[in-house]
Amino acid sequence: MLLFLTAIVLAGDTSHFYPNGTDLRLTVDSTTLRKCPKWRPGEGALALSAESAIEVATRFHHSLSFSSVTRFYHWRFAKSTLVSCSGDRWFWVVTYEGSFDETLLGPGSGGHSLECPGTIYNHYPVLWDGSLPKPSRRSPDDPDRPAETVADMVEMLESDGKKFTPMLNTNRWPAINHGSARTSGG
């Protein structure tokens, strides 16, 4: 059984985003943010509107080919969140909510035993220059990737968290995913 975990991994001023159903990693770090304008609240308009960030993330989201059971999810825009990094550098996180949709399984799929969480989330960082960080392919031994399978979770727990990075820092990101790394129900 595949576990669906929100894939935002934090390491200092570096955030990794792993969209569910892909082998991609989007990384925001100080080098990435250096090319973006500085801003402080109360010092003028935002360099990139939420509307523009949503358009960028939507184009990227619709360009993805989802694998595994994530292709059986109906995706919709959920929210955009303004995130501060390094004090005066900012980026948007645009969140898509996926709801499991049995009708996408196709005709004759009744009686399936597929257990999936009712709702999962994909998060896309949009920089204030109107771009996403360049996606890279992640490998199974990516030290920052979140645990994705039951075997990964067992290995993570047995290694005292050293094998995989915890999937969500709920102290910093609870509003991104409604306060939990995994949400069940519809």
pLDDT tens per residue across span 136-166: 987 767 766 655 555 655 665 566 555 544 4
Contacts of residue 46, Cβ cutoff 8 Å, sequence gap at least 6: 39, 82, 90, 128
Q: Is 63 exposed, middle or buried (0-12, 13-18, 19+ CB in 10 A)?
A: exposed
Q: What is the pLDDT of residues 88-140, one digit of tens each?
A: 889 999 999 988 877 777 665 555 555 566 788 899 999 999 999 999 987 76
Q: Please answer whether residues 147 and 3 qualify as being in contact, where contact means their C-beta atoms are separated by less than 8 angstroms.
A: yes
For residue 35, give the nearest of 90, 112, 98 by alpha carbon: 90
161 CB contacts (<8 Å, ≥6 apart)?
Answer: none
Cite the beta strand spans of 14-88 per DSSP E: 14-17, 24-28, 73-85
